Structure 1
Amino acid sequence: MRILLLGATGRVGKQILNLLLEENYEVTVLVRDQQKLTIQHPLLKIFQGDVLQSEDIRKSIEGIDGVISALNTNENETLSKSMQILVPLLEEFHIQRIVTIGTAGILQSRVEPNTLRYISSESKRKSKTAASDHEKVFHLLNGSRLNWTIVCPTYLPDGPITKNYRVSENFLPADGKSISTGDTANFAVKEFFEEKFIQYRVGICY
């Protein structure tokens, strides 16, 4: 199986890449700057390009079986704009499986269940820009024909894999405060193959 990994140079993406290669999966990555990717591996295929360029994404998805995206967002809405390009191409190439790293802000609020956390009284966020971009990705995937899962970590410090965490469909587990980058990567890779949460947002925390 060959997997396209987006965001491979980020905090979670690096750990996802290591996990996939440790399990001897073929991995294709699309990165803007190859110098930021220090790892070398015979099963790793690197494309240099831009996720906002349709031809670069088209080139990178040829021959793949699924996608894991750990892309970060920014004020330019790179995350949702890249997904607007990616989703139709995956449908065109009949590639069904995609797991993305989102944010707990796009889960349902426990105090206002009909409202997303980041726009509810449950949220302590000062800026809603990143969560808004993640919400757009959620709607894009939810309107697609893909077998998608959005992994939604809460406060995300760098940390190791413990495999000792809680997950919940569409809500953050009660009293969840944080989750490490390592455990977020571990769950994302596990869920990619197990497909237990197809077309769900999944809250993850300790």
Structure 2
Amino acid sequence: MKIAVFGATGRVGSNVVQLALQAGWEIKALVRDIPKAESLIPGAHLIEGDATISEDVEKTIQGCDLVFSALSTDKTDTLSKTFPLIIDHMISHRIDRIITVGTAGILNSRLEKGKYRYQSKESKRRSTFAAEEHQKVYQSLAKSNLDWVILCPTYLPDGENEGEVRYEENFLPEGGTRITVKDTALFAFKEIKENEFHYTRVGLSY
């Protein structure tokens, strides 16, 4: 399998790429910092560029079987600028499947029907910028004809695999408060491999 990866040097992205390389898959990763990427994900085919530039996105996607994104907002509008490009180039290159990592904020609220969690009393975050960026990604994918899934972990501390991950489509599992980076990456890796979910958001927590 050949996977195009965006956000490959981030916390979740680098762990997913390492698992994929160990499985013998080929990785094409778009990165800004080649030396940093070489130290984090040795063995990946690195493309130096910018995810908001159409040509760089196309170089990364071309020839791949699947797209995986762990791009974060990083207090910028990178996500909302990048995803229309990813979608367009996936369509033009006839790549159907995309798996992304989002945020639990864009899952449905259990307490306030018709709202996202970040819009409801369930969210404790003061800033909604990141959730709004991830919401734009969700809406763009939902309007497309791609086979998409957005994995939505709640609070995401660094940490090793703890196991017993709970998940639920479109909602955060009840009482869920955290899940480690390692377990989120392992769940993403398994989803790339097993294709269990389609056209949906998946809430992740312990």
Secondary structure of 1:108's aligned partner: coil
Using the TM superposition, give the Cα deviation of residue 163 of structure 1 relative to its aligned residue in structure 2, in angstroms: 3.4
Q: Which residue of 2 aligns with 1:28?
A: 28
* Letter aligned with residue 158 of structure 2: D
Structure 1's consecutive aligned runs of 4 or more residues displaced over 6 angstroms after TM superposition are none
Does the alignment pair 1:156 with 2:156? yes
Using the TM superposition, give the Cα deviation of residue 182 of structure 1 relative to its aligned residue in structure 2, in angstroms: 0.5
Q: Which residue of 1 aligns with 2:51?
A: 51
Using the TM superposition, give the Cα deviation of residue 160 of structure 1 relative to its aligned residue in structure 2, in angstroms: 1.4
Report sequence identity in percent: 47
Q: Structure 1 residues 191 and 113 mapped into 2: Cα distance closer, same or farther (>3 Å)?
A: farther
Using the TM superposition, give the Cα deviation of residue 191 of structure 1 relative to its aligned residue in structure 2, in angstroms: 1.1
Secondary structure of 1:156's aligned partner: coil
1:47-102: CA deviation from partner (whole Å, max 9, x where unpaired): 00100000011111111000110001033310121001110110111101100000
Q: Matches of residues 53-202 of structure 1 in structure 2 within 5 Å?
A: 53-202=53-202
After TM superposition, the structure 1 stretch with the greater mean CA deviation from structure 2, 131-140 or 191-200, is: 191-200
Distance 1:156 1:135 in 2: 18
Unaligned runs of 5+ in 2: none
Q: For the Cα contact (< 8 Å) 1:3–1:68, is it kept in 2?
A: yes
Secondary structure of 2:173's aligned partner: coil
Q: For the Cα contact (< 8 Å) 1:99–1:148, is it kept in 2?
A: yes
Unaligned runs of 5+ in 1: none
After TM superposition, the structure 1 stretch with the greater mean CA deviation from structure 2, 170-179 or 74-83, is: 74-83
Distance 1:193 1:201 in 2: 17
State TM-score, norm by structure 1: 0.96
* Structure 1 vs Structure 2 CA RMSD: 1.0
Q: For the Cα contact (< 8 Å) 1:6–1:30, is it kept in 2?
A: yes
1:123-176: CA deviation from partner (whole Å, max 9, x where unpaired): 111000000000000000000011100000000001112332100000000000
Q: Which residue of 2 aligns with 1:40?
A: 42
Distance 1:111 1:157 in 2: 25
Alignment: residue pair count: 204
Q: Which residue of 2 aligns with 1:12?
A: 12
Q: For the Cα contact (< 8 Å) 1:151–1:204, is it kept in 2?
A: yes
Q: Structure 1 residues 161 and 29 mapped into 2: Cα distance closer, same or farther (>3 Å)?
A: same
* Letter aligned with residue 72 of structure 1: S
State TM-score, norm by structure 2: 0.96
Distance 2:88 2:193 in 1: 22
Distance 1:53 1:68 in 2: 17
* Letter aligned with residue 11 of structure 1: R
Secondary structure of 1:80's aligned partner: helix
* Letter aligned with residue 92 of structure 1: S
